[in-house]
Structure 1
């Protein structure tokens, strides 16, 4: 019975890894290699100027808090939490999740190409910026935290981590550092790595591991996931409203479409990490179960 449950969990993790990889490819293909995708991203980036003076302070604080040093410190903290719980394999796996997600993000950003359709001439020279490195840092730490926290703290960790990662993704848009598709792609990279990390944890799971239904946090995961889906629907509605205006040059758009593009993209960013975090929260009790004795 236990082996059957582990087998189905493994299948679920493979499906998650493949689904999020496929979603990444769709986001990359549409956001980078189509004129409409580039236009929508540019509208959102241009719309970030609306009310920018009011949020510059918080945005700067969020982005400046993310550095190589802070990433190493967060990784060390996450490893320490796992170790004090007596979970050596978990400490190693969580560390590999963070490292893998961030290294692959940088490699993808470097080697993926971005055609110039003449839609965003101001940033054309910068080349490809997908996925967002800052967003990947925040999201990988947030997801790893869900894995290492004890069951009683997982829900709080999931909501706080998702909120922090969402704020980081929106901050990169608000600061003009990244396009919306960059942040969404970063979350999907982290989500795929989380599924791979889950497979590793499942492989090294001890015989005395006991999956407790009380640790499933189904309601919290559902609330987080449905909230994410709702945000994605808002984003889809906002961006679909913009599609009818895609023949208009971005610099000729009025305040309303620019704001809708920015707000709709921000909703899509927040919705994506909420869904990714919910999937991790819904599965973690099977990956890091209690031990007998």
Structure 2
């Protein structure tokens, strides 16, 4: 595997291990993660109802998006190998998530009142992110910046929805992103190797879908989320003197999901753009 793809894959694996250790095995991590989940319960209303409907339809939406786009590109452009690799990796990512759920032990008691059943990684988030990644792999380089932004936004929306509905903690969602990255990055390298003839980049200025605008929007979303995270963490810092009932842990958790999702989007788009052949 190419060195950049190898390093990126290893980074996903290392980040997954760190996420599991801190948020599942330590008292501080458990407290932060569980507090975000508890505070999400205070957001009852239209947002929760909307996200519930979205999550109910998420499997169908994810499969429909992946199937329609992948089949269209495959038939129209005859990218049979790329489609096979992308769909196999998509299935592998979802299988890996379910196996990890079964293999990992229940959450150990660290003095934090929480459901001990392991919920990491999030299956719904894995489904959304892997479907978006499959589309990203089969489209040509000129379409990848747009596909990355739209797919990243779709995956982030799915992850945040699971938190709003108290289906998953923030760390579960982050772990799902990392599982998808660890599986889809090697698949992406294979797509580049087997689709050398069509993985040709015209640069960022030759087509509206390849504009740097999409990278900029992803980066700005990540920066905005980082600002919210810093503010929320300051509010919950010891000695700040805040009221006992807040939603700062929830917003910090949402920010963590958004930062991870869009950071992965920017990194993947940049990596594939760097690896594509130039005309």
Classify the TM-score, shorter chain: 0.7 to 0.9
- 1:65 match: secondary structure: helix
Find the aligned partners of 1:59 and 1:209 in 2 and give their Cα distance: 37
- 2:58 match: secondary structure: coil
Distance 1:231 1:70, change over 3 A: closer
Find the aligned partners of 2:192 and 2:203 in 1 and give their Cα distance: 17
Find the aligned partners of 1:160 and 1:95 in 2 and give their Cα distance: 19
Q: Deviations over 1:260-290 (max 9, x none)?
A: 0001111111111111112222233456668
Q: Give TM-score scaled by structure 1 length.
A: 0.82
1:145 maps to what in 2?
135
Mean alpha-carbon deviation: is it higher for 266-275 or for 227-236?
227-236
Find the aligned partners of 1:220 and 1:74 in 2 and give their Cα distance: 20
Question: Given the alignment of the two structures, is residue 213 of structure 1 paired with residue 203 of structure 2, yes or no?
Answer: yes
2:249 maps to what in 1?
261
Question: Given the alignment of the two structures, is residue 93 of structure 1 paired with residue 81 of structure 2, yes or no?
Answer: no
Aligned equivalent of 1:116, options 109, 115, 119: 109
2:12 maps to what in 1?
20
Mean alpha-carbon deviation: is it higher for 203-212 or for 172-181?
203-212
8 Å Cα contact 1:210-1:289 kept in structure 2: yes
Aligned equivalent of 1:284, options 262, 268, 272: 272
2:94 maps to what in 1?
102
1:250 maps to what in 2?
none
Find the aligned partners of 1:207 and 1:149 in 2 and give their Cα distance: 13
Distance 1:141 1:232, change over 3 A: farther
Aligned residues: 270
1:4 maps to what in 2?
none
1:133 deviates by 0.2
The 5-angstrom pairing of residues 1-293 of structure 1 reads 10-67=2-59, 71-83=62-74, 84-113=76-105, 114-121=107-114, 123-124=115-116, 127-206=117-196, 210-214=200-204, 217-232=211-226, 234-239=228-233, 241-242=235-236, 244=238, 254-256=244-246, 259-285=247-273
Q: Give TM-score scaled by structure 2 length.
A: 0.85
8 Å Cα contact 1:147-1:288 kept in structure 2: no
8 Å Cα contact 2:141-2:199 kept in structure 1: no
Find the aligned partners of 2:212 and 2:21 in 1 and give their Cα distance: 34
- 2:110 match: secondary structure: coil
8 Å Cα contact 2:192-2:199 kept in structure 1: no
8 Å Cα contact 2:141-2:276 kept in structure 1: no
C-alpha RMSD of matched pairs (Å) = 2.6
- 2:168 match: secondary structure: coil
- 2:214 match: secondary structure: helix
